[in-house]
Structure 1
Amino acid sequence: MKRWRNSTVAVLVLTLGCVGTVVAPMAPLRAEASRPIARTLSPHKLLALDDYFRGLVAERKIPGAVVLIQQHGKPVYADTFGNRDSGHPMTADSIFRLYSMSKPITSVAAMMLVEDGKLKLDDPLSNYIPAFAKAKVGVDVPGGDEHTSFGLKALRRPITIADLLKHISGITYGFYGEDPARKRYAQLDVFGRDWDNATWAERVAKLPLAEQPGTLWNYGHSTDILGRVIEVVSGQMLGRFLKDRLFDPLGMSDTSFYITDPEQRARVAEPFASDRMIGPVVGMHDPADVKLWQAGGSGLNGTIADYARFLQMLLNGGILDGRRYLAVRTVQEMTRDHIGSGSGVARDHFYFPGAASGFGYGFAVRTKLLASEPGPLGEYRWDGVGGTFFWVDPVDDMFVLVLTQAPSQRWRMEVDVRKIVYEALETK
């Protein structure tokens, strides 16, 4: 194995708490494993990832990347490519803006409170943020001469905590779509203000919902609002709750909403100057620019080793290193489809999980097999607009985690990496 790969693997092995050779298939470590492992990754075939990521760097599609594939509880592929920034090579401990990969973490935190008996999935959101008791749905009102005006309509039922987890609350984003409700989110400029979570949630509560709760999967600020619910229930700031209940116990020492430590700031991975936009008018933020808002849906930064420990905990059924974070049944509930046939939830052309997937509590969940999109039923995944993505494959007892800062390339990379990984699986 080449020295630069040894260095990457050494950092990840020490951080993840794994020992032994990491380029050969490992025996399962998980007592929770309930099915025999039918397929094992071939380290030799995974070397195709080397050529793939080197090519992206050489073509200046991405500045650099860190890649980790873990099966049976240990790394089988771990490497770094390209540069962290203009002056330094990429390292395994580089810190990335995770953006929407924050959502699964915040969703897990909420489910911990559900297990604590402090939060119920069918609770009305207004129990915790009273301003949402006055929420209305924005509707187009036809007028004369083919003109329309904007009106408000009462909710058929309240927004619930489960709606937030499933993205069916009617709360949307303002940077995609042209309907009047979304335009009002854009006008609020939530990314450009410096409100704390309490003030921010009050402002969002005054905006019209894009549709009736429980009727349409609509990607938006639901998880950010869920972060405020966590604050109300726990009596802590969201960042403090995550640190106390997840980050510190899991050993995720480089994961936070903002980066104030000079040593950590030096490890932040940067995009190309020409590839910083994550929306029509929104660029990638500076993690060192500390604000009051702690966005549970998009605000976290972290390393590959930190996020790997989070994913391994989920793959283990809610336990890592002998400490339980969630019950097995809770992980199962989070990672099953809740918006399929009979749910009453529609999908439109902004349904980002794709035709082969439903949605659980914070994760897209595979519900159909497609030759063009290899992977088993029950796989769960998500990504971040900055260029990060992961998927967890419980059938093959593995997860794949890729971190880069290249917003324009993430869709392409996930398709290509998925193909390489599943071609590397061999049946015993």
Structure 2
Amino acid sequence: MSVPDSSRARWPLVAHRDDVQVTAIGQLDVGSTAPMARDSVFQPVSSTKPITAAAVLMLVEDGRFGLDAPIAELAAPMVVRTPRSPVDDDVPAARPITVRDLLTFRAGYGFPSDFSLPQLQELFTVQTGGREARLRPEPGGWLARLARIPLPHQPGESWLYDTCADLQGILIARASGVPAAQRDRFARYYRSAENQPRAARGQPGLPRRPGPGLRRRDRGRSRAATAGPAAPEPALA
């Protein structure tokens, strides 16, 4: 397997049973002559999305909230009448946004394939690139700006890229109980001592088995939620 020909780097891989051979070809970046190596380090970028989703499911399994619990700050969004409607031609959402919507990227927030939509131009002013995430305002301010932008689709109606992962990260930071004064609350939760027993192959925070939301797709409720009182409504800020 290798990356496309347009790239300056390739990693050919040949595997036969337990015999795996990998070769690194190319340079570390377009402005460097340093050679690529098998252990070259890169930003994980969107590979963090399934890790973030796993952390959300861990909190569901712990009974912090249910998969179908509405998100308090996103409970009453506005939705443009059609994806190509002006941003001021909107209607109320048919239902609240839930944790399940965030996990399936169907909350209504995110990037469609058509970048010319009026709503998306507004989203670009709030949803900056991942490399600029630290330049964003604190989560409460960022959420307030996001909530002023109408959705291009009703919650649960369409898959849209990226924004739901950011919302998941904020949800984890708030629901995990890590004090707000501590920076990088998501990372602190993931590395916390209470999650160490669930480590898989020495990687903190990765559950050994699928969460109940994956095993019970017909109901999508955690063991804690079905065994006792309803899980509390999650809050992002």
Provide TM-score, normalisation by structure 1. Answer: 0.41
Query: Match for 2:101: what amino acid?
Result: D
Aligned CA distance change for structure 1 residues 70 and 154 (closer, same or farther; 3 Å): farther
Following superposition, the deviation at residue 139 of structure 1 comes to: 2.1
* CA distance in structure 2 between the aligned counterparts of 1:141 and 1:87, rounded to whole angstroms: 46
Residues 1:111 and 2:111 are matched in the alignment: no
Q: Which runs of 5+ in 1 are unaligned?
A: 1-48, 251-312, 339-428
Q: How many residues are aligned here?
A: 206
| Structure 1 position 199 matched with structure 2 position 141 | yes
Q: Compared with structure 1, are the counterparts of its residues 69 and 213 closer, same or farther at alpha carbon in structure 2 (3 Å cutoff)?
A: farther
> For the Cα contact (< 8 Å) 1:138–1:180, is it kept in 2?
no
**Residues 34-113 of structure 1 aligned to structure 2 (within 5 Å):** 56=5, 61-66=6-11, 76-85=20-29, 86-113=32-59
Letter in 1 for 2:45: Y
1:239 is aligned, of 187, 190, 202, to: 187
Do 1:171 and 1:218's aligned partners in 2 also have CA atoms closer than 8 Å?
yes
1:182 matched to 2:120? yes
Query: Do 2:82 and 2:152's aligned partners in 1 also have CA atoms closer than 8 Å?
Result: no
More strand by share: 1
- How far does the alpha carbon of each residue in 1:374-416 deviate from its partner, in whole angstroms, 9 at most, with x for none? xxxxxxxxxxxxxxxxxxxxxxxxxxxxxxxxxxxxxxxxxxx
1:171 to 104, 109, 114: 109
Q: Distance in 1 between matches of 2:16 and 2:71?
A: 39
Partner of 1:226: 168
Distance 1:189 1:110, change over 3 A: closer
The Cα shift of 1:322 comes to: 10
2:207 to 301, 313, 326: 326
**2:103 matched to 1:155?**
no
Amino acid at match of 1:123: A
Q: Larger C-alpha radius of gyration, 1 or 2?
A: 1
Contact 2:24–2:36 (Cα < 8 Å) also in 1:
yes
| 1:234–1:80 Cα change, 3 Å | same
For normalisation by structure 2, the TM-score amounts to 0.69
| CA distance, structure 2, for counterparts of residue 81 and residue 165 of structure 1 | 36
Distance 1:329 1:148, change over 3 A: closer
- Taking the TM superposition and a 5 Å limit, the aligned residue runs for 1:350-365 are none
> How do 1:333-372 and structure 2 match up within 5 A?
333=214
Identity rate, percent = 26
Answer whether contact 1:65 1:82 (CA < 8 A) is retained.
yes
Distance 1:322 1:195, change over 3 A: closer
